[in-house]
Amino acid sequence: MDYDLDRLSIIHYPDPRLREVCQEVTEFDDKLAALAAKMATLRRADKGVGLAAAQVGVPLRMFALNLTGEEKDEMVFVNPVIHDPQGSKETEEGCLSLPNIHVQVRRPARCRITAQDLKGNPIELEGEDLLCRVWQHEIDHLNGILILDRMGPSDRIATRKTLKEMEAGYQARVSA
């Protein structure tokens, strides 16, 4: 997979790359580690807690997250899969690819994740509340799913104008 780390930035809706289903990571090398580091830098700059590779235009099954902002709490999940979702909780979510959009999303409140780290070693963790929510949100990105696909009718109405403006801005940029 070819990409220029220096040119990577967070892409915004309605960029069609956000709808791509990402490919499984098969090479665990320095290039993957450099991508993860760049993603963490971009995420921190935009004050986000999670960022999927799809959100920087790289269709690989990987995301970085940090719930505390402390460097020691940086986590990267490669080829992640959610297991054993339990309960249900509706909470407001935002997204770095949808600036200024915050909608209510219902998700399982507790789950388990399996993945690999940047060296290909297995990861298995259980999480709840925000951690579980971020895992699910980022895995949605890896499957081409956005919070827009999970919001209810009232949020659809409330965000319509902002989304139309984002769509018009994107069209103007790609047409220029």
Residue 17: band (very low, low, confident or very high) from pLDDT cuts 50, 70, 90: very high
**110, β-bridge pairs:** 86, 128
Residues 20, 93, 126, 138: which is the catalytic one?
138
- The predicted pLDDT at position 146 comes to 98
CATH code at position 107: 3.90.45.10
- The predicted pLDDT at position 1 comes to 78
Quick check: helix, strand or coil at residue 146?
coil
Is 138 a residue of the active site?
A: yes
DSSP for 52-110 reads EGGGGT--BSEEEE-SS--GGG-EEEEEEEEEEEE--EEEEEE-TTSTT-EEEEEE-SE
- The predicted pLDDT at position 2 comes to 83
Give tens-digit pLDDT for 21-77.
999 999 999 999 999 999 999 999 999 999 999 999 999 999 999 999 999 999 999
- The predicted pLDDT at position 123 comes to 98
Q: How far is CA 91 from CA 15, 21, 73, 75, 103, in A?
A: 25, 25, 23, 23, 8
Core vs surface per residue 10-21: b (16+ CB within 10 A) or e = bbbbbbeebebe
- The predicted pLDDT at position 176 comes to 85
| Unique residue bearing structure tokens 């090479």 | 27
Q: 60 lies in which domain range?
A: 5-175
Query: What region, left, alpha or beta, does residue 25 occupy, with left being phi > 0 and alpha being psi -120 to 50 degrees?
Result: beta
- Average pLDDT over all residues of the chain: 97
Give tens-digit pLDDT for 91-125.
999 999 999 999 999 999 999 999 999 999 999 99
Q: How many domains, the chain?
A: 1
